[in-house]
């Protein structure tokens, strides 16, 4: 602690005393502020990850999904993290997480497991993931890039998948639906007529989920 100037000392002496320590005091305040700021940034960055780790451990599907996706990204350079991430996403999917099934489908498609990918995209579509429906449209389209071996091209099916989602986004129609498998059965089953699909869609309509109804 700095000693106070002697009471009754001349004003000039007091001013000289304080002028000696002002820069030191100012520098100390700046250093303290920097340390506090950096510490706050560090904990702000670490807290969400720690929270999601705990939440995932007690069964939060959303936390399992978020951790899994991050680990899969890191797995591009660290294979062990990739497999750990897939396990987290799998656990989230088993709990019905909407996007988790699509992530697994994307991985299966990248790995050439087309039948498994189709089944997972169908599951994600059933849960209400519009990107999964568009993925199915792309797979069956003759304009698919890249082409998928073993998939019979069906532009009618591809157009109906895309039209189904466009009608939701731009026409305000119900989504998701409980009977997606009846509206869009996977091959080798044929699609119902457009009229029958409309009837089934109305039957399977359930309240929208998410902001402004977007899945």
Pairwise pLDDT comparison (145 vs 207), residue with the higher score: 145
Phi, psi of 111, deg, nearest 5: -90, 5
What pLDDT is recorded for position 25?
62
Residue reference for tokens 């305040």: 29
Q: Which two tokens stand for residue 202?
A: 């109305």
Domain ranges of the chain: 129-208
Q: Judge whether residue 62 has pLDDT over 60.
A: yes
Task: Give whole-number Cα distances, 116 to 47, 109, 120, 136, 210, in Å.
Answer: 36, 8, 6, 12, 28
Q: What is the pLDDT of residues 84-100, one digit of tens each?
A: 999 999 999 999 999 99
pTM of the model: 0.71
CA 62 to chain centre: 9
Residues recorded for the chain: 215
Phi–psi pair at 205, nearest 5 degrees: -60, 135
What burial letters (b/e) apply to 108-120, b meaning 16+ CB within 10 Å? bbeeeeeeebbbb
Tens-place pLDDT, residues 115-126: 999 999 999 999
């Amino acid at each position: 602690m700095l000693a106070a100037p002697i009471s009754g000392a001349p004003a000039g002496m007091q001013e000289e005393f304080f002028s000696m320590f002002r820069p030191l005091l100012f520098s100390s305040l700046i250093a303290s502020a920097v340390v506090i700021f950096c510490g706050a940034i560090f904990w702000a960055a670490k807290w969400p990850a720690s929270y999601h780790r705990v939440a995932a451990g007690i069964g939060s599907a959303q936390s399992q999904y978020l951790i899994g996706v991050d680990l899969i990204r890191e797995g591009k350079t660290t294979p062990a993290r990739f497999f750990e991430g897939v396990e987290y996403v799998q656990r989230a999917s088993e709990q019905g997480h909407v996007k988790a099934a699509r992530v697994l489908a994307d991985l299966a498609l990248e790995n050439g497991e087309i039948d498994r990918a189709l089944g997972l995209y169908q599951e994600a579509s059933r849960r209400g993931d519009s990107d999964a429906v568009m993925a199915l449209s792309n797979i069956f389209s003759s304009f698919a890039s890249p082409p998928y071996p073993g998939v019979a091209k069906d532009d009618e099916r591809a157009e109906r998948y895309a039209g189904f989602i466009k009608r939701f986004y731009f026409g305000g129609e119900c989504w998701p639906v409980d009977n997606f498998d009846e509206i869009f059965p996977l091959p080798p089953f044929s699609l119902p007529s457009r009229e029958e699909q409309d009837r089934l869609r109305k039957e399977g309509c359930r309240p929208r989920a998410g902001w402004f109804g977007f899945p």
